[in-house]
Amino acid sequence: MGKFKKIETGIKDLYVIEPKVFEDNRGFFMETYNKKDFKEIGINEEFVQDNHSKSVKGVLRGLHFQKEYPQAKLVRVIRGEVYDVAVDLRKGSETYGRYYGVYLSAENKKQFFIPRGFAHGFLVISEEAEFVYKVDDLYHPNDESGILYNDEKIGVVWPFEKIGGEQNIIQSEKDKNWGKLS
């Protein structure tokens, strides 16, 4: 096995990535990105920016997407745990409107590759979580849009039981006011 294992999600071009982790009594080492190795597993994006966010338990960010300047993302959690979701918004896609969710944590070290044309969001289920991600285009603040987290047409099954119920979610005003997929 190479340094990265690419796991199919059932949605074309959307992958969970498991890095090879070298552990011993001192701790661990792993590469989180290597352009050559990613190319070998079929991911050829040229990442241009890294982002880092910290959130508390119950924060639900998203579902966000960019209208004119879409971004591919490689996301992971370096502290805590989140339930991460990507929704296919690619016009003409066989899986348009379908989502895939995965638990990302500092412990499991999984990464999620989200290609251009997807909405993205996550729910923090640990006391705090630090989330880092690479993007393949710069952020354009006036280009951001989103979809309500509870859009029935998409039907994301969020693990609200892990935060004591849906009434405990914490959202930005912007995220509370997005429209629906339709």
Q: Which residues are catalytic?
A: 64, 133
The closest of 166, 142, 145 to 60, measured between CA atoms, is 166
- Quick one: tokens of 117? 């044309």
Distance (Å, rounded) from C-alpha 164 to C-alpha 138?
36
- Return all residues near 138 (Cβ < 8 A) that are at least 6 apart: 48, 49, 69
Q: Helix count (H) and strand count (E) of the chain?
A: 2, 13
- Omega of the bond prior to 89 within 30 degrees of 0, cis? no
Rg (CA), the chain: 16
